[in-house]
Chain A
């Protein structure tokens, strides 16, 4: 059996959803600039509005992740599902812009699909009842987009189980400090349920690193019990190097978690300032979002109809209907495009 590290490297979380910081930043910048390019010609406002920057998008996604966590708590969904839904939501907005697809809608879809992915089959109608003002149709409209956005990887590895394991281990090693350990357990869990979901730690660190960082945040010396430094003397050998490397990863992960301490969860809602501070951004989003994709239900309907019409077409399954179409259609499109050059824009209806 391969080592745990090797097994983790085979997971979709590592293969598809782990990035270097620069890599993630590039991807988000690319998503942002592509969205601008695509939306610009569809907006009628004159002069064209200012678009969101990639950083502003991150802030909006963060804000809506909190809303998602709130909604999940309201629906009494278990922690694992809440976390999976939040991770889906954040992964989706790495390669999709909030200007393209409305986060308020995708949030609900993420909750629903998070349940499904965790094997918890809540009825669509029950969920839509809970989320007042939402229809089943609205929740489902974004499902396909979400699946594609998370690259059909439905298994999310959370640090929650790792924490339970570490706590058991600590209880054995420090039998006289039960209350301290229990306190750390509760607080570290709060970190994992909030800070880990709002920051980028899932994109950069493994579940065990995140767990250790959360534990370090609440009771630093417990981590030293779990990851003891090699005995002095051997400190400069390979073991020392390894220990240093591990601690560096945990430290930098902790710093990232500390950007959003769990106390913020309540303050986000109790202090009107935070909501107010989001207002200008939300207004900005209103002005620059893709007018064609605001109504996901209508969009989904149109796409389904398009697909159905396609199926009805003469059933001679042309070679490459599925795979080669990229080529043939592109040729057609290009022909049309070149025709445009000669004859001008298409006739208005």
Chain B
């Protein structure tokens, strides 16, 4: 009798059997006295070399490319546990794994944010968009997204850490460039991200910024379909959504890009509203009140209400607050924060704006400021990051819950 064979990974036979739990047990015949019969005859059923369906085999192939590493909570999101995973190949590449658990509260199967994230990340391949390397399911029917490993935290960490992280106009230009390229690529492929904010902008080991979390993304361009206005984290949400617009395009993301730009300069959220009405008030104060004059048709939006009548701010006002990025930078910022979405600059137009060519040149990504230190430091950073107050606030602000019933 031979010992259990050496298991090598290359053999397809090592694929674990995922047989049906309801398997009708092959009737084991017994001798009259109940003792097991010696194996004189060959076993009743020959175990075939492959006991998986083709679909299951393909899944196993994906799964076996990775070896699980230590757990690492990359995002403070209780439904998604992240692991570091090592690629099971000679190239010791690392990945992070986002595990999507089937939620008990959501009784309609796979949660919509998981469907959206998978749908869009499968299609979008760009250096400034987090790359989905693989997807596989584990036996407990959780879906595992293998995402590229982005160990240097996110832009929010850098913005907030004013004591240790110092950055200037050239760094802002580099980060903004990467963000704008990411969003341009999404729009070029008819995808709206709908949740752009500093903590969805993750940083790779080489300093490259990657747009992540496509849980609220959707396609656009179909004029017939109703779109929910309850998206984008409030501080970054454009006025048309606050007024309840049911049809919109890439301009909603551009507004968020503008608010992130402003936040990078100020090192504090630009318009941190406490609720939707407060958010509208902050917009009216900081940028100007949307009226029929500056935005024809705005008063017909379903939830149009404005608390005050302020004129739209002039360039001087912005120069005073955001002058560190120079007059061209301020011009770009003003265009991204145009109240009327039709007049707001597009991602493509942003890319050809003179600011990119003005001095200073954007910092090379390798030289960008970072919060470095080993992985342990990173773990500590990640633990420290959600300050208690911050955590409470954030939870309330995320427009996670969509009105699915409303969509017919």
Question: Which residues 309-349 of A sit at the B interface, judged by CB distance below 8 A?
Answer: 310-311, 317, 319-327, 329-331, 333-335, 337-338, 340-349
How far is it, in angstroms, between the C-alpha of A341 and the C-alpha of B42 when the chains are bound?
Answer: 8
Residues of A within 8 A of B36 (CB): 343-347
Contact of B115 (CB < 8 Å), options: A38, A117, A298: A117
Q: Would you call A307 and B139 a contact (CB within 8 A)?
A: yes
Q: Give chain B residues whose Cβ lies under 8 Å from the Cβ of A345.
A: 26, 28-29, 36-37, 43-44
Q: How far is the CA of A123 from the CA of B59 in the complex (A)?
A: 29
Give the CA-CA distance A306 to B109 in the complex, in Å: 18
Contact residues, A83-116 vs B (CB, 8 A): 92, 94-97, 100, 112-113, 116
Task: Report the bound CA distance from A154 to B38 in whole Å.
Answer: 52
Within the assembled complex, what's the spacing in Å between the Cα atoms of A304 and B102? 10
In the A-B complex, the 9 residue pairs with the closest CB atoms: A307-B140, A121-B404, A345-B28, A95-B55, A154-B119, A95-B54, A292-B20, A152-B135, A41-B45
Nearest Cβ on chain B to A117's Cβ, whole angstroms: 6
Asked if B139 and A344 sit within 8 Å, CB to CB, the answer is no
Q: Could you list some 20 contacts between A and B, CB below 8 A?
A: A34-B52, A38-B53, A116-B109, A116-B110, A117-B115, A140-B108, A144-B137, A147-B110, A151-B55, A292-B20, A306-B140, A323-B66, A327-B9, A342-B1, A343-B39, A344-B37, A345-B28, A345-B29, A346-B36, A347-B36
In the assembled complex, A37 has its CB within 8 A of some CB on chain B: yes
> A152 near B143 (CB under 8 angstroms)?
yes
Whether a CB of chain A sits under 8 angstroms from the CB of B68 is yes
- Interface-forming stretch among B120-128, B292-300, B353-361, B375-383? B120-128
A140 to chain B: which residues have CB within 8 Å? 108-109
Which positions 1-52 of chain B face chain A at CB distance < 8 Å? 1-2, 4-5, 7, 9, 14-17, 20-30, 36-39, 43-45, 47-48, 50-52
A119 to B228, CA, bound (A): 11
| Closest Cβ–Cβ distance, residue A118 to chain B (whole Å) | 9
- Contact between A143 and B109, CB atoms less than 8 A apart: yes
Contact B83 A322 (CB under 8 A): yes
Quick one: given A42-B23, A320-B68, A321-B68, are A123 and B123 in contact (CB under 8 Å)? no
A326 and B59 contact, CB distance less than 8 A: no
Return chain A residues, CB-CB under 8 Å to B56: 148
CB atoms of A340 and B20 under 8 A apart = no
**How far, in angstroms, from A337 to B362 measured CA to CA in the complex?**
63
Which residues on the B side are within 8 Å of A290 (C-beta)? 20
Q: Is the C-beta of A155 less than 8 angstroms from some C-beta in chain B?
A: yes
* A1 to B, closest residue via Cβ: B188
Check: B369 CB closer than 8 A to any chain A CB. Answer: no
In the bound complex, CA of A10 to CA of B125 (Å): 7
Pairwise interchain contact A326-B2, C-beta atoms closer than 8 A: no
Q: Is A244 an interface residue (CB 8 A)?
A: no
Residue A31 at the B interface, CB < 8 A? yes
B39 lies within 8 A of A341 (CB): yes
Task: Judge whether B21 and A306 touch: CB under 8 Å.
Answer: yes
Apart from A10-B123, A41-B26, A338-B1, list 9 A-B contacts with CB within 8 A.
Answer: A34-B54, A95-B54, A149-B55, A325-B16, A330-B15, A330-B16, A343-B39, A345-B44, A346-B28
Interface 1/0 per residue, B201-233 and A, CB below 8 Å: 000000000000000001100000100000000
Q: Which of B54, B83, B115: most chain A Cβ within 10 A?
A: B54
Name A335's closest neighbour in chain B (CB-CB).
B4
Considering only CB atoms, which chain B residue lies closest to A121 in the complex? B404
Instruction: List the B side residues contacting A112 at CB < 8 Å.
Output: 109
Which of B38, B64, B85, B225 interacts with A326 by CB under 8 Å? B64
What string of 1s and 0s marks CB contacts (under 8 Å) between A11-55 and chain B? 110000000000000010011001101100110100000000000
Do A124 and B120 touch across chains, with their CB atoms under 8 A apart?
Answer: no
Query: Contact at A337–B47, with CB atoms within 8 Å?
Result: yes
Could you list which residues of chain A lie within 8 angstroms of chain B, going by C-beta atoms?
1, 7, 10-12, 27, 30-31, 34-35, 37-38, 41-42, 44, 92, 94-97, 100, 112-113, 116-117, 119-124, 140, 143-144, 147-149, 151-155, 290-293, 298-299, 302-304, 306-307, 310-311, 317, 319-327, 329-331, 333-335, 337-338, 340-349
By size class, the interface of chain B is: 35 or more
Shortest Cβ distance from residue B182 to the other chain A in the assembled complex, whole angstroms:
14
Other-chain residue from B39, B54, B116 in contact with A342 (beta carbon distance below 8 A): B39
In the complex, how many angstroms separate the beta carbon of A316 from the nearest chain B beta carbon? 13
Chain A residue numbers with a CB within 8 Å of B301 are none
Q: In the complex, which residues of chain B have a beta carbon less than 8 angstroms from the beta carbon of A42?
A: 23-24
Interface assignment of B311: CB less than 8 Å from any CB of chain A:
no
Contact of B68 among A7, A116, A323 (CB under 8 A): A323
Assess whether A303 is in contact with B21, with CB atoms less than 8 Å apart. Answer: yes
B123 touching A326, Cβ below 8 Å: no
A299 to B24, CA, bound (A): 12
| A7 touching B122 in the complex, CB below 8 Å, given contacts A148-B59, A326-B63, A345-B43 | no
Interchain nearest-CB distance for A342 vs B (Å): 6
A42 closest partner in B (C-beta):
B24
Contacts of B15 in A (CB 8 A): 326, 330
CB-nearest residue of chain A to B49: A37
Contact B21 A322 (CB under 8 A): no
Q: A302-B22, A347-B36 are in contact. Are A323 and B85 (CB under 8 A)?
A: yes
Contact present for B68 and A34 (CB under 8 Å) = no
From known contacts A154-B118, A322-B68, infer whether A298 and B22 are also in contact, taking CB-CB under 8 Å: yes
Contact B58 A95 (CB under 8 A): yes
* Neighbouring B residues of A7 by C-beta, 8 Å: 189
A1 to chain B, nearest CB (A): 6
Are B408 and A120 touching (Cβ within 8 A)? yes
For A341, the chain B residues whose CB sits under 8 A away are 1, 39, 43
CA distance A44 to B1 in the complex (A): 32
Q: Does B107 lie at the interface of the complex (its beta carbon under 8 Å from any beta carbon of A)? A: yes
Asked whether A38 and B37 contact (CB < 8 A) given A120-B407, A321-B68, the answer is no
| B407 & A95 in contact (Cβ 8 Å cutoff) | no
A102 to B66, CA, bound (A): 32
Please state if B48 and A330 are interface contacts (CB–CB under 8 Å).
no
B67 close to A (CB within 8 Å)? yes
Contact of A12 with B122 in the complex, beta carbons under 8 Å: yes
Given contacts A323-B68, A345-B26, contact A147 B143 (CB under 8 A): yes
Interchain CA distance A119-B108 in the complex, whole Å: 14
A338 to B218 Cα, complex, angstroms: 52
Query: Does B374 touch A at the CB level, under 8 Å?
Result: no
Task: Give the CA-CA distance A322 to B60 in the complex, in Å.
Answer: 12
- B365 CB to nearest A CB, Å: 21
B138 in the interface (beta carbon within 8 A): yes
B224 (CB) vs chain A CBs: closest residue: A78
